[in-house]
Chain A
Amino acid sequence: EVKLVESGGGLVQPGGSLRLSCSASGFTFSNSAMHWVRQAPGKGLEYLSLITSDGGTTYYADSVKGRFTISRDNSENMLYFQMSSLRPEDTAVYYCVRDLTWGQGTLVTVSS
């Protein structure tokens, strides 16, 4: 069974940093492109970032480009999302996604 488990969310002040992690199991992680998607409170789904299976290619939405970094460790079956210069509008549930399978999400709250 494909399983994705996010962690690392929490409360952070504006301008702060946070690193999200996603633990993957049930599939060959090193063969899979991975994604991050978020949903702000009361809003729709926003696609944020992609990393190819070997980590060689990444994509970022304009809303996070230059502030967030996606990475992976294929030896540990882990996906990461380093978030810096956080803003209140980054408050959202962040989801790790493989193909059409989603984790349960982790809540990031940016507030003073």
Chain B
Amino acid sequence: EVVLTQSPGTLSLSPGERATLSCRASQTVRSNYLAWYQQSPVYGLRLLIYGASSRAIGIPDRFSGSGSGTDFTLIINRLEPEDFAVYYCHQYSSSPRTFGQGTRVEI
């Protein structure tokens, strides 16, 4: 199975700063079928990015995803208070689907 490793485990930042989250796969994620989810008390579990770089409906453009193959990145520009949450990467290219262990973005 594809193992996803997220780094860092915790990111301590202030509102207005930029967050850079990494997700590394143990093997190629075919067709860049890599998604990012946010989990927070405000939004619950919310899909942010799919296909490595496409924003889901209603997601602000301060969220951006990039990468291909085995290395993927989620960038959050100008952190808002509601962005302090846990973020998971998720590959849906091969079975079984797998998740990263999560990155906590904290104030």
Contacts and interface: CB of A to CB of B under 8 A. Distances in A.
B59 interface: no
Contacts of A101: 47
Contact of A45 (B47, B50, B90): B90
Interface string B35-47: 1010000001101
Using C-beta atoms within 8 Å of the partner chain, give the interface range for chain B.
Answer: 10 to 19
A102 B88 CA distance: 14
B96 A100 contact: no
Contacts of A89: none
B88 A45 contact: yes
Using C-beta atoms within 8 Å of the partner chain, give the interface range for chain A.
Answer: 10 to 19
Contact of A47 (B35, B47, B97): B97
A26 interface: no
A44 B101 CA distance: 6
A99 B35 CA distance: 11
A53 interface: no
A104 interface: yes
Contact of A46 (B35, B45, B99): B99
B102 interface: yes
Interface in A18-65: 35, 44-47, 50, 59, 61
Contacts of B97: 35, 47, 50
B92 A100 contact: yes
B95 interface: yes
A81 to B, nearest CB: 16
Interface of A: 35, 44-47, 50, 59, 61, 95, 99-102, 104-105
Interface of B: 35, 37, 44-45, 47, 50, 56, 88, 90, 92, 95-102
